[in-house]
Amino acid sequence: MTADLFSPTKLGSIALKNRIAMAPLTRNRAGQGNVPQLINAEYYAQRASAGLLITEATPISATAHGYPATPGIHDSEQVEGWKQVTAAVHAKGGKIVLQLWHVGRISHPSLQPGHALPVAPSAIKPAGQAFTYEGLQDFVTPRALSIEELPGIVADYARATQNALDAGFDGVEVHAANGYLLDQFLRDGTNHRTDEYGGSMENRTRLLLEVTKAVVEVAGADRVGVRISPLNPFNDISDSNPQALFNHVADSLNPFGLAYLHVVEGGMGGDNLPAFDFAALRRHFHGSYIANLGYDKAKGNAAIASGHADVVAYGALYIANPDLVARFQQDAPLNAPDHATFYGGDAKGYTDYPTLQG
């Protein structure tokens, strides 16, 4: 029988009741101290009919933050806050993994401990503005990380992974996409280093592989995924040869035996993107593959039936449709997302979207 979005599957050791995932979605609704709140638990539990929930990107350390009110995973109060979320999701029969995040240069001194400069592979200022508690402010030129600091970054990922497991998550996803720190190391537009973490594709991939190894040693490869975005120009990022680079990334991740590779198949807010063969990338990665960006029900079913994807992740549709699985099953109309309430605020546009049952 041909598989479809509603077929069960496994990603590593994580058993999924269907192949519909909720993509990681920053919503800026954490409480004081970047601690998850009861409303966050309600939000995720409403969407627990998904085969897999991937949390909003979650900073691994105090210096990893780049936006207001994003929930962290680096202190005990945050772990306790996340326990409410995982318990609520598991009570509804859902599976949930936490996305591990370091924003790198996409931050601002006002969001950093001691008003320090954000860090990056190289001291290259991104175009654009940072979202801060004081409103939009121009990005600053970041401080290039010294080679001696990189083991500390890797250790932060490992510590955050243990915190996530302590909070009850079914696994973790390493965020190496969308112009944040690990992506900044991967791409030659942002990585101008001349040491063993810069220059060749092998060198630029080194930090991602070190982080993945450390995370796998804590959680087990069967509970670890990695997210990449080969074409996404978001956060002023680019590479001169993305196909070669990300084919190499996929090849380099294969030996870990990861639960999955999660791929953003396009760009957010970018035009005139270079050609990219995602089918070729899929062939380079030998494990399970989550496809993301621009999928609807028909395209999702086609991707699974053809073998291109094992799971399909949905973003904005999940913001507006907590019961997306049921709506897809019944071919029911979909709620339209309210873009004005995506980032920050209260229950409006967060936990108040109607379901088919009212």
- Spatial CA neighbour of 263 closest among 302, 230, 235: 230
Annotate 310-334 with b (16+ C-beta within 10 A) or e (fewer): bbbbbbebbbbbbbbbebbbeeeee
- For the record, the structure tokens of 168 come out as 């009850």
CA distance 55 to 58: 8
Catalytic one among 43, 180, 318, 350?
A: 180
Quick check: 263 and 291 in contact, CB under 8 A?
yes
Quick check: 95 and 52 in contact, CB under 8 A?
yes
In the annotation, is 43 catalytic? no
Q: Across the chain, how many H-helices and E-strands are there?
A: 10, 14
Burial of 95 (0-12, 13-18, 19+ CB in 10 A): buried
**Where are the strands (E) in 195-288, listed by range?**
224-228, 260-264
CA distance 78 to 29: 13
Tell me if residue 40 falls in helix, strand or coil: helix
Task: Give the Cα-Cα-Cα angle 78, 101, 260 (nearest 5 degrees).
Answer: 110
Q: How many residues does this entry show for the chain?
A: 358
Active-site residue set? 180
